[in-house]
Amino acid sequence: MGAYLVRRLLLIIPTLFGIIAINFVVVQFAPGGPVEQMISELRNRGGETMGRMTGQGGSEVAPVSSSTPGSGEQGAYRGARGLDPQMVADIRKMFGFDKPAGERFVLMLKGYLGFDFGRSFFLDKTVLQLIREKMPVSISLGLWSTLLVYLVSIPLGIAKAVRHGSRFDLATSAMVLVGYAVPSFLFAILLVVLFAGGSFLHIFPLRGLTSPEAADWPWWQRVLDYLWHMVLPTTALVIGGFASLTMLTKNCFLEEIRKQYTVTARAKGASEQRVLYRHVFRNAMLLIVAGFPAAFISILFSSALLMEIIFSLDGMGLLGFESAIRRDYPVMFGTLYIFTLLGLLMQIVGDLMYTVVDPRIDFEARQS
């Protein structure tokens, strides 16, 4: 197992390099980069002086390191017609685009080796500072939602498998169908309307993970306040995400229940509870439990943005979306790097979960 883990960890390096390189190349052909946006803004202002924009008289735009990636040069000079060429050159140097694309890419990779992602173009902070500020929100959403999805889906799926074809199975299947059909953000809007001061009750807050005055409260009150803020976004994600896992659990258990070894166990006098939880459970839960890391990453990536927008949570999803809109390339590439690294590491954790659930699995034997 040790050699397998070493190989998987080493594979992270070329995978990260390939993903970053492909995205860097794509960005070179994307129009409307930060240089072009700055030039357009200056033209709209009638060619104001560069004092405020370059940080010489107070900085609206943060200085960036030379390791920051960026878009290609096409279109920058088309948008710069009517401006002083020296001003255009200052803008390009300010954003780090005075160097060739290959040199910028090499400098970016050197910085990434030490988790130095440069500075944001438009926020006066380093990318690492922004990630540290936003990550707790996204981790909270992803972790609690994934845990609750599993806590709801596994017992429900087992109950549906045991009672297959009964009224309970049909009634819960209708619930599952609704969960499949309606996306989580619609459930989120419904919860806001019903419980967050929309048109009915105002029980839960609608902004942030904590109350503004929570810093002065005792620790147990801060914990309760945090959980209070997490109720609605977590509920929306759970309602929108439990359906597929419930049906996966049911189908896995049904397949195992119908196998010959369960018939043999019953013929030897084993009770239904013993057959279900002693024999069926480990085999049926292999795929479900081992998929927990992937499910966490899936919720973190796919649903965080809309939940953060609806519930005014300033997390990684919103940060990545805003950086893409504003062409804040250091933030875009920094968050891509972190998300990709987390995803690759979680895949390895998923493989480890297979061996925890079923020690008979040997990845070394499969490799040989």
Nearest to 296 by CA among 147, 151, 134, 135: 147
Mean pLDDT (the chain, rounded) = 78
Nearest to 21 by CA among 356, 264, 337: 337
CATH number of 128-325: 1.10.3720.10
How many of the other CB atoms lie within 10 Å of CB of 35?
Answer: 26
What is the pLDDT, as a whole number, of residue 291? 72
What is the pLDDT, as a whole number, of residue 365? 59
What is the pLDDT, as a whole number, of residue 73? 44
CA distance 49 to 207: 39
Q: What is the pLDDT of residues 209-243, one digit of tens each?
A: 888 888 888 889 888 988 898 898 889 888 878 88
What is the pLDDT, as a whole number, of residue 351? 77
Question: Tokens in use for 167?
Answer: 């009224």
> Which sequence spans correspond to the domains of the chain?
2-122, 128-325
Instruction: Specify the pTM.
Output: 0.73
Which pLDDT tens digits describe the chain residue by residue (368 residues)? 677 788 888 888 898 888 888 888 887 776 667 777 777 777 776 544 444 444 443 434 444 444 445 544 444 444 445 566 777 777 677 666 777 878 888 888 888 888 888 888 878 888 899 988 888 888 888 888 888 988 998 889 988 988 888 899 999 988 888 888 888 888 888 888 888 876 778 888 877 788 888 888 888 988 898 889 889 888 988 887 888 889 888 888 888 888 888 888 888 887 878 888 777 877 777 777 777 777 777 766 665 678 888 888 888 888 888 888 888 888 888 888 888 888 888 888 877 777 777 676 766 655 55
What is the pLDDT, as a whole number, of residue 368? 52
CA distance 239 to 232: 11
What is the pLDDT, as a whole number, of residue 77? 42
DSSP-derived secondary structure letter, 31: S
CA distance 139 to 304: 10
Question: Tokens in use for 40?
Answer: 């357009």
Helix/strand/coil for 112: helix
Question: Tokens in use for 285?
Answer: 């839960």
